């Protein structure tokens, strides 16, 4: 096999490392630039296409479990019609962090191919592990995805219920707690929480 | 022209990758947009059913069928506006000594099942100081033989079996209930 491919590879390598004889530097530079722009545009278009709710709920694992639970919460339906989609909370908005998360997500492609959570029972068995990943991520980045919308500087405590204002003043202002410490299970149902601190 | 195959290969690869990515992107983008159009268009095109005018309802406490609000049985009355849950965080008095206290805040989407109990997040004995919430009574830690347990008793686990929120809904029927203090003071006055 290798013996047959080897001359092809050798020819290709020789062509690749030889300076151009017929094409001008300008043509190669400009051509490379245009090809680069086209490639970059296509790459980002494809990346953003995977960053939509339609893409996430394209698989029954997400559509039949977590998406159904989201629908009953205030992050899906509320008085003002502003809503959060899957990537708003589960994918960082910054480019570098987004690419890092997308590379991590290759594990999820593996899970999809091998059916790690392809039945309701398997999903419920894995729910605690999956939830713990998200809690750890949000704890580590100080609930960045919450704060993308819920900016503390713009939070008017006087318009909250007295109870909420008191607790936010006591724990959030001082930085002792971050959003996810108390607000677990606001968008999806909680797994068995025995022994897990919630607040 | 020894570069020709290289240029051809490179060109074909770039064009194919770009074409695939753009087609994929366009497809996903379009399906998303057309979906939202359909959602927006729907309520506008759907005709609103004309609500039959409700006849003047007799004052509360005098009408026979409070639930129908005086609408004849052959007609369907307009639904009353949904009542709002009182969210003032001000504790209410009990109407009688053993009444389970009512909840003075909204409890939308609180999860109470075998996995988690959102009420106990604040009202459990162990957490009450953190949230300055009234801890649940010691009776809730007793089993039916009056033995104290370390955690909430299973028969008291589902809080909203007894404790409920209050809304600003108008009472459908008049209520002449007097609590024992009123009755006693009235008896003393006579």
Which residues in chain A are contacts of B10 at CB distance < 8 A? Answer: 35
> CB distance from B134 to chain A under 8 Å?
no
Q: How far is B92 from chain A (nearest CA, A)?
A: 15
- The residue among B29 and B183 whose pLDDT is bigger is B183
- Note whether residue B93 is domain-resident: yes
CB spacing of A55 vs B28 below 8 angstroms: yes
Average of per-residue pLDDT across A8-23: 88
B88 and B164 together in one domain? yes
pTM for the structure as a whole: 0.71
**Residue A69 is assigned to a structural domain of this protein:** yes
Both B109 and B38 in a single domain? Answer: no
| B154 shares a domain with B99 | yes
Alpha-carbon distances, residue B183 vs B97, B175, B180 (angstroms): 14, 15, 5
Nearest Cα of chain B lies from the Cα of A115 at a distance, in angstroms, of: 24
Cross-strand bridge partners of residue B117: B112
**Out of B14, B31, B108, closest to residue A54 by CB:** B31
Q: Quote the pLDDT of residue B3.
A: 67
Contact criterion met (CB < 8 Å) for A198 and B25: no
What's the total number of domains in chain B? 2
- Averaged pLDDT score across all residues of chain B: 80
- CA A80 to CA A149: how far, in whole Å? 14
Contact A163 B105 (CB under 8 A): yes
Instruction: Give the range of the structural domain holding residue B19, as residue numbers without chain letter.
Output: 1-46
Contact B1, A22 (CB under 8 A): yes
- Residues A56-74 have pLDDT tens digits of 999 999 999 999 999 999 9
pLDDT of residue B63 exceeding 90 = no
In whole angstroms, give the CA distance from residue A109 to residue A5.
32
**Whether residues B89 and B38 fall in one domain:** no
At B81-123, the pLDDT tens digits run 889 999 988 999 988 888 999 999 999 989 999 999 999 989 9
Q: Rounded to an integer, what distance in angstroms lies between the CA atom of residue A119 and that of residue A60? A: 9
Give yes or no for a contact between A116 and A59, defined as CB atoms under 8 angstroms apart: no
Q: Is B34 left (phi over 0), alpha (psi -120 to 50) or beta?
A: alpha
To the nearest 10°, report the CA torsion of A158, A161, A162, A165. Answer: -60
Asked if the structure places residue A132 within a domain, the reply is yes
Residues B39 and B109 in one domain: no
Residues B90 and B35 in one domain: no
User: Domain for residue B23, yes or no?
Assistant: yes
Rounded Cα–Cα distance for residues A182 and A186 (Å)? 10
Judge whether B61 lies within some domain: no
For residue A82, being part of any structural domain is answered with yes
The predicted pLDDT at position B46 comes to 43
Both B42 and B89 in one domain: the answer is no
Query: In residues, how long is chain B?
Result: 190
Confidence of residue B29 (pLDDT cuts 50, 70, 90): low
Helices (H) and strands (E) in chain A, counts: 12, 0
Within-domain flag for B53: no
Which among B25, B87, B131 has CB closest to A161? Answer: B87
Question: Does residue A17 have a pLDDT over 70?
Answer: yes
Q: Name chain B contacts of A182, Cβ cutoff 8 Å.
A: 121
Is A81 part of any domain?
yes
Mean pLDDT of B5-13: 79
> CA-to-CA distance for A178 and A188, rounded, in angstroms?
18
Domain count, chain A: 1
Question: Which range, of A115-119, B15-19, B120-124, averages the lowest pLDDT?
Answer: B15-19
The reply to whether A5 falls in a domain is no
- Tens of pLDDT, residues A119-130: 999 999 999 999
Per-residue pLDDT at A79 exceeds 80: yes
Same domain, B41 and B103: no
Which of B7, B23, B112 should one mutate to test binding to chain A, selecting the residue with the greatest count of A CBs within 10 A? Answer: B7
Domain that includes residue A149, residue range: 59-182
Asked if B129 has any chain A CB less than 8 Å from its own CB, the reply is no
Residue pair B167/B88 in contact by the 8 Å Cβ criterion? no
Residue B173 corresponds to which tokens in the numbers above? 């029927």
Both B103 and B38 in one domain: the answer is: no
Cα(B10)–Cα(A39) distance, rounded to whole angstroms? Answer: 12
pLDDT digit string, tens, across residues A141-174? 999 999 999 999 999 999 998 889 989 999 999 9
b vs e for B135-149, b when ≥16 Cβ sit within 10 Å of the residue's Cβ? bbeeebbeeeeeeee
Q: Which residues of chain A make contact with B22, given a CB cutoff of 8 A?
A: 42, 45
Note whether B89 contacts A18, CB cutoff 8 Å. no
Q: What is the pLDDT of residue B171?
A: 80
- Is pLDDT at B129 greater than 50 in this prediction? yes
B103 within 8 A of B110, measured Cβ to Cβ: no
Q: Work out the percent of chain B whose per-residue pLDDT is above 70.
A: 78
Question: A48 or B61: whose pLDDT is higher?
Answer: A48
Tell whether the model's pLDDT for residue B30 goes beyond 80.
Answer: no
Residues B112 and B158 in one domain: yes
């Amino acid at each position: 096999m290798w013996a047959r491919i080897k001359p092809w590879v050798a020819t290709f390598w020789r062509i690749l490392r030889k300076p151009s004889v017929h094409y001008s530097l300008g043509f190669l530079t400009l051509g490379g630039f245009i090809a680069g722009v086209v490639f970059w545009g296509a790459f980002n278009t494809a990346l953003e296409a995977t960053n939509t709710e339609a893409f996430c709920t394209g698989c029954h694992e997400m559509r039949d479990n977590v998406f159904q639970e989201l629908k009953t919460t205030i992050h899906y339906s509320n008085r003002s019609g502003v809503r959060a989609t899957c990537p708003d909370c589960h994918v960082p908005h910054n480019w570098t962090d987004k690419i890092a998360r997308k590379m991590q997500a290759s594990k999820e492609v593996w899970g999809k191919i091998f059916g790690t959570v392809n039945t309701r029972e398997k999903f419920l068995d894995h729910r605690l592990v999956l939830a713990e990943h998200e809690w750890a991520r949000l704890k580590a980045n100080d609930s960045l995805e919450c704060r993308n919308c819920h900016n503390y500087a713009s939070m008017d405590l006087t318009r909250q219920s007295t109870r909420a204002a008191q607790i936010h003043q006591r724990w959030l202002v001082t930085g002792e707690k971050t959003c996810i410490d108390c607000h677990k299970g606001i968008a999806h149902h909680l797994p068995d929480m025995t022994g897990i601190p919630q607040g | 022209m020894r570069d020709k195959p290289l240029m051809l290969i490179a060109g074909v690869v770039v064009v194919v990758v770009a074409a695939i990515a753009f087609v994929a992107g366009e497809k996903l983008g379009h399906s998303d947009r057309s979906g939202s159009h359909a959602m927006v268009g729907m309520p506008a095109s759907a005709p609103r059913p004309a609500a039959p005018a409700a006849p003047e309802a007799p004052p509360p406490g005098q009408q026979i069928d409070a639930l129908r609000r005086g609408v004849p049985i052959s007609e369907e009355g307009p639904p009353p506006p949904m009542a709002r849950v009182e969210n003032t965080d001000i504790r209410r008095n009990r109407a009688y000594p053993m009444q389970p206290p009512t909840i003075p805040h909204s409890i939308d989407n609180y999860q109470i099942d075998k996995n988690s109990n959102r009420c106990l997040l604040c009202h459990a004995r162990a957490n009450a100081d953190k949230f300055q919430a009234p801890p649940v009574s010691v009776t809730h830690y007793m089993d039916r033989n009056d033995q104290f347990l370390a955690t909430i008793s299973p028969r008291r686990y589902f809080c909203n079996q007894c404790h409920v929120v209050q809304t600003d809904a108008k009472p459908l029927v008049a209520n002449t209930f007097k609590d024992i203090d009123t009755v006693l003071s009235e008896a003393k006055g006579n």
